[in-house]
Chain A
Amino acid sequence: MSANVQADTIITATPEPSATFTPRTRVRRALGNVWRVIFLGSTVLAVVLLGMLLWSILEPGKDWLSWRLITNMPSRIPEKAGMNSAIWGSIWLVGGSAIFSFVIGLGSAIYLEEYAAKNRWTDFIQTNISNLAGVPSIVYGLLGLVIFVDLLGMGRSILAGSLTMGLLILPVVVISSREAIRAVPSSLRQASYGLGATQWQTIRHHVLPAAMPGILTGVILSMSRAIGETAPLIVVGGASQVLFRPDGPFSPYMVMPLQIFNWTSRPQQDFEHLAAAAIIVLMIILLVMNSLAIILRQHFSKKNRW
């Protein structure tokens, strides 16, 4: 009985601070600092590793960087060898896969976001698209080999490679396009519908223009992935030595990562250096593409602020 009375009085009266709280401010702050140091450490480690990686490429490659690397065709003699055919092959391949994945990816993103009912089916499709984005790229290579190279008889052509690579980046394009479309404020759609616009007019004139920077960013970033991807192309027949520029979608081709792989697997030391130089070129192209994505996004986001 007396314990009950005690409890009641504590609740109703102003509590004595030392009796109810043990603030331990110093301990809590120290614990916070420990975590802060751990996070800082991870960041530093990541930057150092990246720096080491860059150095291991720049150091051997820097003396071999030259215009010849970009303008010459591959050769048995390291001093004469270039990656012109590989650069053009990459441009053809990535351009083709970007067009393919943009058209199909944007189309399905529009359907899933704007038209499809939100139910278990669309959830199921959504989950599977996310899963596809995580499938190893070699699997796409095998798929491309069976469907495009053999079944559809495209052979070891740029077209087969582009479609395979397009499939590989399609999930990312769909996901990023859906997110960009979803981010368009509903007030914009309402304004459009309120004026008697049809669904297509609303999508065409308001949703897509507002979502386009996000969509383009997704496409460019996935192009960056495609340009560095090697494994599926080995399977669908990117050649390891092509001495001419591709002349059309059915041309044989090689791409930059394959050229680099080819050079690193040669016994001569010089080819290893040449490969390092080629990696630098590839990285510059990647940086330019990523910067382009950022510039596009900022350019458009200045235009539509709401």
Chain B
Amino acid sequence: MALRSTGTTVPTLPAKDNTARTQEETILRLDKLNVFYGNFHAVSNVDLDIQKNRITAFIGPSGCGKSTVLRCINRMNDLVPSARVEGQVLYHGQNLNSRNVDPVEVRRRIGMVFQRPNPFPKSIFENVAWGARINGFKGNMAEHVERCLRQAALWDEVKDKLKESGLSLSGGQQQRLCIARALATSPDVILLDEPASALDPISTLRIEELLRELQTHYSIVIVTHNMQQAARLSDQTVFFSLSDTRSGILVEAGQTEQIFTNPVDPRTEAYITGRFG
């Protein structure tokens, strides 16, 4: 504390690694998040902290609101006319779920990858370049596109056919193209909504490896139906389920290891041991 107050840089202490789990930096905080679709109370009172440069997995049975919560983080629910979001989504302490916040700016900082690969019907190059260009990217676009494609572990496969349509790629490549496209706007956070559910096991594995690499630079939130995937991939796991009124609730959130080996809530245990869901 004394060092800090004098303005000197605090050296990283070796001991920090041991306590890293408790000292992690929160990048996103959901506070009393409620989502309604018309009269339907889809998500009820979700409180959650999401850590910086970590992979957070949302798991839970179908219809429990995990995708809905994910879509609150970058204001994608604004696109659903009947949706109403209450509560706060704090990003570096600023409430994103506010009238004063422009969803366009939010989505540049918090990118999204969807369940089914949805490249634009444009060239591979243009798929990556477009998002950067509309957000006013100034710089060498060719280098930028190459960097994003390399980060998405796709460069070697497409470097000779950048002018070909993004739709000419295989499903797994398309999904990595979508990840490269999301990286192109240089986001902080990447949201993935079941990104591997339409892919074969080998493509799925490649996506998982990729996310592991990306984690050093980005905070990642992934919705998955696949519990093994959550266990393999994530640092933090959040289990959602349905309340008696069919509303999505957060049952338990914690370190992935703890959730899968020693869950606190009996519902979590029932789900991860395959007794329901």
Which A residues lie at the B interface, using CB under 8 A? 117-118, 185, 187-198, 201, 205-206, 209-210, 303-306
B104 touches A196 (CB 8 A): yes
Enumerate chain A residues within 8 angstroms of B118, measured Cβ to Cβ: 185, 187-188, 190-191, 306
Cα-based distance from A197 to B105 in the complex (angstroms)? 9
Does B29 have its Cβ within 8 Å of any Cβ on chain A?
Answer: no
CB < 8 Å neighbour of B108 from A190, A191, A196, A210:
A196
A304 to chain B, nearest CB (A): 4
Q: Can you name 19 A-B pairs with beta carbons within 8 Å?
A: A117-B81, A187-B116, A188-B120, A189-B79, A190-B76, A191-B178, A191-B181, A193-B107, A195-B108, A195-B184, A196-B105, A196-B109, A196-B135, A197-B134, A201-B134, A205-B130, A304-B121, A304-B167, A306-B167
Q: How many residues of B contact A (CB 8 A)?
A: 29
- Given A210-B121, A305-B121, A306-B167, A193 and B114 contact (CB-CB distance below 8 Å): no
Query: Is the C-beta of B182 less than 8 angstroms from some C-beta in chain A?
Result: yes
User: Is the C-beta of B74 less than 8 angstroms from some C-beta in chain A?
Assistant: yes
Question: Is B56 close to A, CB under 8 A?
Answer: no
- Chain B residues with Cβ below 8 Å from A185 are 118
B111 within 8 Å of A by Cβ?
yes
Tell me, in angstroms, the Cα distance from A70 to B185 when the chains sit together. 58
Contact of B76 with A194 in the complex, beta carbons under 8 Å: yes
B residues near A190, Cβ cutoff 8 Å:
76, 79, 112, 114, 118
Instruction: With both chains docked as a complex, state the minimum distance between the C-beta of A29 and any C-beta of chain B, in angstroms.
Output: 43
Inter-subunit contact B167/A305 (CB<8 Å): yes
CB contacts under 8 Å to A, within B126-143, are 130-131, 134-135
CB distance from B145 to the nearest CB of A (A): 14
**Among the listed A188, A193, A196, which residue makes an inter-chain contact with B79, where contact means beta carbons less than 8 Å apart?**
A193
Which of B120, B165, B182 lies at the interface centre, i.e. has the most chain A CB atoms within 10 A of its CB?
A: B120
A-B contact count (CB 8 A): 73
Q: What's the least CB distance linking A202 to chain B, in Å?
A: 9
Query: If the complex has contacts A196-B131, A196-B134, are A191 and B120 also in contact, measured as CB distance less than 8 A?
Result: yes
Given contacts A117-B81, A187-B116, A305-B167, A195 and B121 within 8 Å (CB-CB)? no
Q: Which of A117, A194, A198, A201 has the most CB of B within 10 A?
A: A194
Nearest neighbor of B126 in chain A, beta-carbon distance:
A205
Closest beta carbon of chain B to A232's beta carbon, Å:
39
Cβ B76 vs Cβ A195 within 8 A: no
Q: Which 4 A-B pairs have the closest CB atoms?
A: A196-B108, A195-B131, A304-B121, A194-B112
Give the residues from 78 to 115 in chain B that come closer than 8 angstroms, CB to CB, to chain A.
79, 81, 104-109, 111-112, 114
Q: How far is the CB of B165 from chain A (nearest CB, A)?
A: 8
Query: A69 vs B182: C-alpha distance in the bound complex, in angstroms?
Result: 61
Residue of A nearest to B115 (CB): A187
Residue of B nearest to A191 (CB): B118
In angstroms, how far is the closest chain B Cβ from the Cβ of A242? Answer: 47
Q: Are A191 and B114 in contact (CB under 8 A)?
A: yes
Residues of A within 8 A of B130 (CB): 195, 205
Q: List residues of chain B with CB within 8 A of the CB of A189.
A: 79
- Set of chain A residues within 8 Å of B135, measured between Cβ atoms: 195-196
Closest chain-B Cβ to A294's Cβ sits at a distance in Å of 20
Whether A196 pairs with B120 at a CB distance below 8 angstroms is: no
Quick one: closest B residue to A303, CB to CB?
B121
**Are A195 and B79 in touch, CB under 8 angstroms?**
no
| Nearest CB on A from B168, distance (A) | 10
Which residues in A have their C-beta under 8 angstroms from that of B167? 304-306
Evaluate contact between A198 and B104: CB separation under 8 angstroms: yes
| Structural contact, B116 and A195, CB atoms closer than 8 A | no
Identify which of B104, B108, B116 gathers the most chain A CB atoms within 10 Å of its CB: B104
**How far apart are B136's CB and chain A's nearest CB, in angstroms?**
10
A189 to B80, CA, bound (A): 12
Are B104 and A118 in contact, with the CB atoms below 8 A? no
Q: How far is the CA of A182 from the CA of B237 in the complex (A)?
A: 38
User: Can you name the residue of chain A whose Cβ is closest to the Cβ of B112?
Assistant: A194
Q: Do A193 and B120 have beta carbons less than 8 Å apart? A: no
Task: Return chain A residues, CB-CB under 8 Å to B182.
Answer: 194-195
Known contacts A187-B118, A188-B118, A191-B118: A196-B185 contact under CB 8 Å: yes
